[in-house]
Structure formats: C-alpha cells, structure tokens
Amino acid sequence: MAAWLIVRLGRAEDAPRMADVNVRCWQETYRGLMSDAALDDPGLLAAREQFWTAALTEERYRANRVAVAERDGELVGIAMSGPPLDAGAKWVRQLYVLYVCAVEHGKGAGQRLLQTVVDPDESVALWVADPNPRAQAFYRKHGFVADGTAQLDDGVREIRMIRAPRAGR
C-alpha cells in the first residue's frame, strides 16, 4: 500500500534534507548535460544546504514560497517560487525550483508542489533545461508554453516557459 504524500511549506530544519533532494535530483536530471565534476563536487551538498538555510531564514527571501513533499517521512521533492528577478518581467511570479526524485515521477508530488508555490491566478515564468522532455511535458500539461527565449546557465541550455493567470478569475 502506497504511503500518503504530504506537501507542506518548508521549514529551516528541512534545509539539510532539501539539500540532499536538490543534489540527488540534479544528478538524476542533469547527468550528461552538466559536467560530472560539477555534479559530483564534494562541496555541492554543503553549498546547497547553505542556500536552503538562507532561503528559509533570511529576510531577502521572505517573499518566496518554499514547499517540500514527503512520503513515509522521507523528503522526495522541493519547490520554490518568488518575485521575478528581471525588472522588465511581464509575470508576477517566477518558479525557481521544482525537483522531484525520479522514483516519485508520475505520483503527484510535482503537481502538488507546483500548486503550493504558485497560485493559478498569478502569471508565472520558469527556466527549464533543454533538452529535458519530461520536465517540459510536465510544464506544458500545467499550462506553460515556451516563449522562444533561451539562455545558457552553467553550460546548460535552458528555455523559458510562461503561464498566464487562469482565465475567468
């Protein structure tokens, strides 16, 4: 029998487990797109823990929304959205992080995390690795469309996808 999935707001004490999920998902998702040296860097876990501690405790991140997904007490997914960093942005929110461990793909964690950190009445943008057909299909299923903008981030090609607020609200 499958255990219940719990999605809740992230807390400061979650930072070490969030870092674990972050690094695991990067290794699962970006192997072959990023260098093995970067993905296997012995300092990566500590750097991610430092980032998540800051994101959950520092005032500069106060407008962000951070959520975690747990199954059987194990963290299996993380998400974070916040105000766009681009001053000329035509959207009100940006999805910065949405990672779910591969063993949980297709079991609802991604959708629940997305719904927790992004309101359907908000316009939102995100950057997704390209190629990453699974993630791009997930975002399309949730109303995002590629806007034709691409960038290189740490050697990884990314495309921007945007979603307008849900109509009729």
Give mean pLDDT, residues 118-125. Answer: 94
> What local confidence, expressed as pLDDT, does residue 2 receive?
58
What is the rounded average pLDDT for all residues in the chain?
Answer: 94
Is the model's pLDDT at 120 over the cut of 60? yes
Instruction: Give domain status of residue 50, yes or no.
Output: yes
CATH assignment of the domain containing 67 = 3.40.630.30
Q: How many domains would you assign to the chain?
A: 1
Instruction: Give domain status of residue 138, yes or no.
Output: no
Instruction: Give domain status of residue 96, yes or no.
Output: yes
CA distance 168 to 16: 41
Is the model's pLDDT at 48 over the cut of 50? yes
Give mean pLDDT, residues 54-69. Answer: 97
Give mean pLDDT, residues 8-37. Answer: 96
* pTM above threshold 0.85: yes
CA distance 144 to 114: 12
In which domain, by residue range, is 81 found?
5-119
Instruction: Give domain status of residue 165, yes or no.
Output: no
